[in-house]
Protein backbone atom coordinates (compact mmCIF):
# COMPACT_ATOMS: atom_id res chain seq x y z
CA UNK A 1 0.00 0.00 0.00
CA UNK A 2 1.20 3.51 -0.75
CA UNK A 3 0.30 6.01 1.99
CA UNK A 4 0.45 9.78 1.48
CA UNK A 5 0.90 11.95 4.59
CA UNK A 6 0.38 15.71 4.32
CA UNK A 7 1.44 17.88 7.23
CA UNK A 8 2.67 21.30 8.23
CA UNK A 9 5.06 20.02 10.90
CA UNK A 10 7.66 17.32 10.46
CA UNK A 11 11.09 16.98 12.06
CA UNK A 12 13.18 18.96 12.45
CA UNK A 13 10.49 21.67 12.15
CA UNK A 14 8.20 20.64 15.03
CA UNK A 15 6.64 23.15 17.39
CA UNK A 16 3.70 21.23 18.82
CA UNK A 17 1.80 18.01 19.25
CA UNK A 18 0.85 17.63 15.57
CA UNK A 19 4.50 17.30 14.56
CA UNK A 20 5.18 14.74 17.27
CA UNK A 21 2.06 12.81 16.24
CA UNK A 22 3.10 12.71 12.58
CA UNK A 23 6.69 11.72 13.40
CA UNK A 24 5.56 8.68 15.41
CA UNK A 25 2.72 7.77 13.05
CA UNK A 26 4.90 7.76 9.94
CA UNK A 27 7.64 5.78 11.65
CA UNK A 28 5.16 3.08 12.72
CA UNK A 29 3.41 2.99 9.32
CA UNK A 30 6.78 2.46 7.63
CA UNK A 31 7.45 -0.51 9.98
CA UNK A 32 4.11 -2.23 9.31
CA UNK A 33 4.23 -5.60 7.56
CA UNK A 34 8.04 -5.62 7.63
CA UNK A 35 8.25 -2.37 5.65
CA UNK A 36 6.09 -3.47 2.70
CA UNK A 37 4.16 -0.19 2.59
CA UNK A 38 5.60 3.07 1.30
CA UNK A 39 4.95 6.25 3.26
CA UNK A 40 5.33 9.46 1.27
CA UNK A 41 5.35 12.55 3.53
CA UNK A 42 4.91 16.05 2.12
CA UNK A 43 5.42 18.76 4.71
CA UNK A 44 5.96 22.51 4.98
CA UNK A 45 9.70 23.05 4.99
CA UNK A 46 12.91 22.09 3.26
CA UNK A 47 13.23 18.44 4.28
CA UNK A 48 14.42 15.87 1.74
CA UNK A 49 15.25 12.42 3.05
CA UNK A 50 14.48 8.76 2.60
CA UNK A 51 14.78 5.99 5.17
CA UNK A 52 13.62 2.68 3.76
CA UNK A 53 9.96 2.94 2.81
CA UNK A 54 9.65 6.42 4.41
CA UNK A 55 10.21 9.38 2.06
CA UNK A 56 9.97 12.97 3.37
CA UNK A 57 9.89 16.04 1.11
CA UNK A 58 9.43 19.65 2.13
CA UNK A 59 7.21 22.01 0.16
CA UNK A 60 7.59 25.77 -0.11
CA UNK A 61 5.08 28.22 -1.58
CA UNK A 62 6.16 28.86 -5.19
CA UNK A 63 5.51 32.59 -4.92
CA UNK A 64 4.07 35.22 -2.60
CA UNK A 65 0.52 36.26 -3.38
CA UNK A 66 -0.39 39.89 -2.81
CA UNK A 67 -2.45 40.40 0.33
CA UNK A 68 -4.41 43.60 0.85
CA UNK A 69 -4.23 42.83 4.56
CA UNK A 70 -0.70 41.61 5.43
CA UNK A 71 -2.15 39.35 8.13
CA UNK A 72 -3.54 37.15 5.33
CA UNK A 73 -0.16 36.50 3.66
CA UNK A 74 0.51 33.34 5.72
CA UNK A 75 -2.95 31.98 4.92
CA UNK A 76 -2.37 32.52 1.19
CA UNK A 77 1.08 30.87 1.43
CA UNK A 78 -0.57 27.87 3.12
CA UNK A 79 -3.10 27.54 0.29
CA UNK A 80 -0.28 27.70 -2.27
CA UNK A 81 1.64 24.98 -0.43
CA UNK A 82 -1.53 22.87 -0.44
CA UNK A 83 -1.81 23.27 -4.21
CA UNK A 84 1.83 22.25 -4.64
CA UNK A 85 1.26 19.23 -2.38
CA UNK A 86 -1.81 18.10 -4.30
CA UNK A 87 0.08 18.28 -7.59
CA UNK A 88 3.29 16.74 -6.23
CA UNK A 89 1.97 13.71 -4.38
CA UNK A 90 2.39 10.74 -6.68
CA UNK A 91 -0.27 8.06 -6.90
CA UNK A 92 -1.33 6.84 -3.42
CA UNK A 93 -3.87 4.38 -2.06
CA UNK A 94 -4.85 6.61 0.87
CA UNK A 95 -4.07 10.21 1.86
CA UNK A 96 -3.84 11.32 5.49
CA UNK A 97 -3.62 15.01 6.32
CA UNK A 98 -3.05 16.81 9.60
CA UNK A 99 -4.61 20.07 10.80
CA UNK A 100 -6.28 22.75 8.75
CA UNK A 101 -2.94 23.55 7.11
CA UNK A 102 -3.11 20.57 4.75
CA UNK A 103 -6.82 19.84 4.68
CA UNK A 104 -7.29 21.58 1.32
CA UNK A 105 -4.46 19.48 -0.17
CA UNK A 106 -5.99 16.32 1.27
CA UNK A 107 -9.39 17.13 -0.24
CA UNK A 108 -7.82 17.81 -3.63
CA UNK A 109 -5.81 14.55 -3.57
CA UNK A 110 -8.93 12.64 -2.53
CA UNK A 111 -10.89 13.91 -5.53
CA UNK A 112 -8.07 14.00 -8.08
CA UNK A 113 -6.80 10.49 -7.28
CA UNK A 114 -10.13 8.98 -6.14
CA UNK A 115 -8.66 7.71 -2.86
CA UNK A 116 -9.85 7.70 0.76
CA UNK A 117 -8.97 10.72 2.90
CA UNK A 118 -8.14 10.54 6.60
CA UNK A 119 -8.04 13.82 8.53
CA UNK A 120 -6.44 14.22 11.93
CA UNK A 121 -7.50 17.46 13.56
CA UNK A 122 -5.42 19.22 16.18
CA UNK A 123 -6.00 22.31 18.37
CA UNK A 124 -9.49 23.38 17.43
CA UNK A 125 -9.86 25.67 20.42
CA UNK A 126 -10.89 29.00 18.85
CA UNK A 127 -9.29 31.29 21.41
CA UNK A 128 -5.70 30.08 21.25
CA UNK A 129 -3.58 33.23 20.88
CA UNK A 130 -1.77 32.11 17.72
CA UNK A 131 -4.98 31.51 15.70
CA UNK A 132 -5.13 35.16 14.64
CA UNK A 133 -1.48 34.99 13.56
CA UNK A 134 -2.04 31.78 11.60
CA UNK A 135 -5.26 32.75 9.86
CA UNK A 136 -5.20 36.54 9.88
CA UNK A 137 -8.52 36.56 11.71
CA UNK A 138 -10.25 35.03 14.71
CA UNK A 139 -11.04 31.37 14.06
CA UNK A 140 -14.31 29.66 14.81
CA UNK A 141 -14.79 26.16 13.42
CA UNK A 142 -18.38 26.92 12.47
CA UNK A 143 -17.36 29.95 10.43
CA UNK A 144 -15.65 27.74 7.82
CA UNK A 145 -18.53 25.33 7.44
CA UNK A 146 -20.89 25.41 4.51
CA UNK A 147 -24.22 26.89 5.48
CA UNK A 148 -27.14 27.80 3.26
CA UNK A 149 -27.19 31.53 2.61
CA UNK A 150 -30.65 31.87 1.13
CA UNK A 151 -34.04 30.29 1.39
CA UNK A 152 -35.34 28.30 -1.59
CA UNK A 153 -37.25 30.29 -4.17
CA UNK A 154 -40.43 29.11 -5.82
CA UNK A 155 -38.49 28.12 -8.95
CA UNK A 156 -36.00 26.01 -7.01
CA UNK A 157 -38.55 24.04 -5.00
CA UNK A 158 -39.67 20.58 -6.08
CA UNK A 159 -42.71 20.66 -8.35
CA UNK A 160 -46.06 19.99 -6.69
CA UNK A 161 -47.58 16.62 -7.37
Domain count, the chain: 1
Identify the pLDDT of residue 51.
Answer: 94
> Which residues span the domain enclosing 108?
2-156
Inter-CA distances, 106 with 23, 82, 109, Å: 18, 8, 5
What CATH number is attached to the domain comprising 97?
3.40.50
Q: Tell whether 133 is covered by a domain.
A: yes
Residue (of 135, 95, 141, 140) closest to 119 by Cα position: 95
Query: Of residues 101 and 93, which shows the higher confidence score?
Result: 93
Give 149 or 1, the one with higher predicted confidence: 1
* The overall pTM is greater than 0.75: yes
Digit-coded pLDDT (tens) for 103-144? 999 999 999 999 999 999 876 665 566 555 655 555 554 444
Amino acid sequence: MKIGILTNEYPPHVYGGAGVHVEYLTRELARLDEGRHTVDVLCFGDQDEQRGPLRVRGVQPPLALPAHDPRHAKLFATFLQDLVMSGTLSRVDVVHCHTWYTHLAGCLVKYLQHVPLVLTTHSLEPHRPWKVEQLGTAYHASSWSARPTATPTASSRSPKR
